[in-house]
Amino acid sequence: MISREKILEKLSAIIDPDFGKDIVSLGFVKDIQIDGEDVRVTIELTTPACPVRDRFREQAENLLLNLEGIRNVQVHMTARQNVSRAAAMPALSLEGVETIIAVSSCKGGVGKSTVAAFLARAMQREGLRVGLLDADIHGPSIPTLMRTLHAEVASIGEKILPVEVDGLATMSLGYLIGDRPAIMRGPMVSNYVFQLIANTEWGNLDYLIIDMPPGTGDIQLTLTQRLAFDGAVIVTTPQTLSLVDVARGILMFERVNVPVLGVVENMAWFDCDQCGKRHYPFGHSVAALQQRFGVKTLVSLPITAGLQHAANRDAGKEITAFAELADAVHRAV
């Protein structure tokens, strides 16, 4: 006789690698339905992009099929809703978008847009549905990175369609104004950004990566207050001057209750092809951020050639740090 207790006993053999406990004691098993020899189980994960999602499903199916009296097993995988996001009731809601991540730098010229684009590509290679929004009105970089400087933007009714670049949904004011400068003041900038976000038909996405404008001014503060971000990734170089601005950015995100997932240390080192040694031209100052704010370094990226564009799905595939960054974001949200 099949019982709920026997099913839970079997499923307790599945161990979550992050928590080091079985999925039953963690409360991941949400529903068990028994219909004769057929069993349906619902397992709820902490994030829709959990890296062990498929492994958990396969383990659950194999374990339960070994129970006497079970002929068919269906394992339904769901993801936990972010309670703080649901409770926030933002002024700007994006239906169909599961997770919103801000990629911020607080200072220009540290490679924020490049990291945002290659993070999106790394997630896309995992089979996730990903969108990339360029929120930098005055200096949009995504059209250059995607090699879509003169993209044609289509619309359906009052909605504009994202520009698909090898399967990645992207949107930028640069698509709409081309090479012309965006000459506008603060309130107007905020309005343009929100129109760009709200009027884009994103469809169903696992992740929307927002390439934030640099700094900690009005547009950044307004964005974080009106959009329910699930987390922020902060990009910096190890220079002391950059880290001072990073500290301001962390404090801004804390003020609006957006969790800082960690720091990306960009252009941190290079391997000399002459002496074979690894050099750190800007030092190791990022460690001070962890001591002060408790934020961790998600990845450390080298100074390297070959990151001029992210126009195709495999862009950055040879740099394993971007896959590591995507995995770190999955685990943190």
DSSP state string for 48-106? TT-TTHHHHHHHHHHHHHTSTT--EEEEEEEE---HHHHHH--SS--TTEEEEEEEE-S
Q: Which residue has the higher pLDDT, 84 or 72?
A: 72
Its pTM stands at 0.71
Q: Smallest Cα–Cα separation from 162: which of 179, 143, 183?
A: 143
pLDDT of residue 209: 97
Residues 45-73 have pLDDT tens digits of 866 656 688 899 999 999 999 998 999 99
Residues 140-182 have pLDDT tens digits of 889 999 999 888 889 888 889 999 999 999 999 888 776 665 5
CATH 3.40.50.300-classified regions of the chain: 83-332
pLDDT of residue 210: 95
Answer whether 51's CB lies under 8 Å from 127's CB.
no
Residues β-bridged to residue 170: 132, 163
- The answer to which of 16-20, 117-121, 164-168 has the lowest mean pLDDT is 16-20
pLDDT of residue 82: 52
pLDDT of residue 85: 47
CATH 3.30.300.130-classified regions of the chain: 4-79
Residues 260-318 have pLDDT tens digits of 999 898 887 888 888 889 888 877 666 666 666 677 889 888 888 777 889 999 998 99
Q: Smallest Cα–Cα separation from 113: which of 264, 324, 12, 291?
A: 264
Tell me what the mean pLDDT of segment 321-325 comes to: 93
Q: Report which residue type is found at 37.
A: E
Tell me what the mean pLDDT of segment 89-115 comes to: 83
pLDDT of residue 232: 94
Q: What are phi and psi of 180, to 5 degrees?
A: -75, 145
Spatial distance between the Cα atoms of 193 and 287, rounded to a whole number of angstroms: 34
Tell me what the mean pLDDT of segment 221-227 comes to: 81
Q: Which residue has the higher pLDDT, 324 or 198?
A: 324
CATH of domain 4-79: 3.30.300.130
pLDDT of 237 above 70: yes
Spatial distance between the Cα atoms of 171 and 168, rounded to a whole number of angstroms: 10
CATH of the structural domain 83-332, one choice from 3.40.50.300, 2.40.30.10, 1.10.10.60, 3.40.50.2020: 3.40.50.300
pLDDT of residue 186: 53
211: enclosing H helix or E strand: strand 205-211
Q: Which residue has the higher pLDDT, 250 or 40?
A: 40
Answer whether 227's CB lies under 8 Å from 88's CB.
no
Q: What is the mean pLDDT of the chain?
A: 84
Residues 21-41 have pLDDT tens digits of 889 988 889 999 999 999 999
Share of the chain above pLDDT 90, in %: 41
DSSP labels, 161-183 = PPEEETTEEEEEHHHHHTTS---
Tracing tokens 């408790």 back to the chain, one arrives at: 294
pLDDT of residue 88: 46
Residues 6+ apart with CB under 8 A from 56: 14, 23, 43, 45, 50, 75, 77
Confidence of residue 185 (pLDDT cuts 50, 70, 90): low
